[in-house]
């Protein structure tokens, strides 16, 4: 068994292959650390993509509701831009956050 193991360890191709593997893992431009960093970045970007796609769907449905429903449009304008009718007064109450 020991002779079998030494036969492969003392082979020059073994050392050449070992040097190649070490080079790929640590010194190459596409080393193992860089591959892990890039795969984490890809996973993060995919999560952002799904988040933004769901936000786009929500915003499109809200936009369609504002286009075709005048009561919703009026409510949105009153709440967001403090718009009022001619015979109304608008008072803005700003509440302080409890500390």
87 pLDDT band (50/70/90 cuts)? confident
- CB of 13 closer than 8 Å to CB of 19: no
Average pLDDT, the chain: 86
Q: Does a structural domain hold residue 92?
A: no
Q: Does a structural domain hold residue 49?
A: yes
- CB of 31 closer than 8 Å to CB of 25: yes
Q: Does a structural domain hold residue 94?
A: no
Domain containing 49: what range?
2-81
Domain count, the chain: 1
**pTM of the model as a whole:** 0.56
pLDDT above 80 for 80: yes
Q: Does a structural domain hold residue 37?
A: yes
Q: How far apart are CA 69 and CA 75, in angstroms?
A: 10
pLDDT in tens, 16-68: 988 988 888 888 888 888 889 999 999 999 999 999 999 999 999 989 988 99
Q: How far apart are CA 75 and CA 84, in angstroms?
A: 10
Which has more pLDDT, 89 or 71?
Answer: 71
What integer pLDDT is reported at residue 1 of this predicted model? 64
Q: Does a structural domain hold residue 86?
A: no
Q: Does a structural domain hold residue 89?
A: no
Distance from the Cα of residue 64 to its chain's centroid: 27
Q: How far apart are CA 84 and CA 88, in angstroms?
A: 6
The tokens describing 23, both together, are: 């080079």
């Amino acid at each position: 068994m020991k002779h079998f193991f030494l036969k492969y360890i003392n082979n020059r191709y073994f050392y050449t292959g070992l040097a190649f593997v070490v080079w790929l893992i640590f010194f190459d431009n596409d080393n193992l650390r860089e591959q892990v960093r890039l795969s984490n970045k890809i996973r993060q970007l995919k999560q952002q993509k799904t988040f933004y796609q769901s936000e786009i769907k929500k915003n499109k449905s809200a936009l369609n509701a504002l286009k075709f429903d005048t009561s919703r449009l009026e409510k949105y304008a009153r709440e967001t831009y403090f718009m009022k009718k001619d015979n109304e007064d608008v008072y803005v109450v700003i509440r302080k956050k409890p500390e």
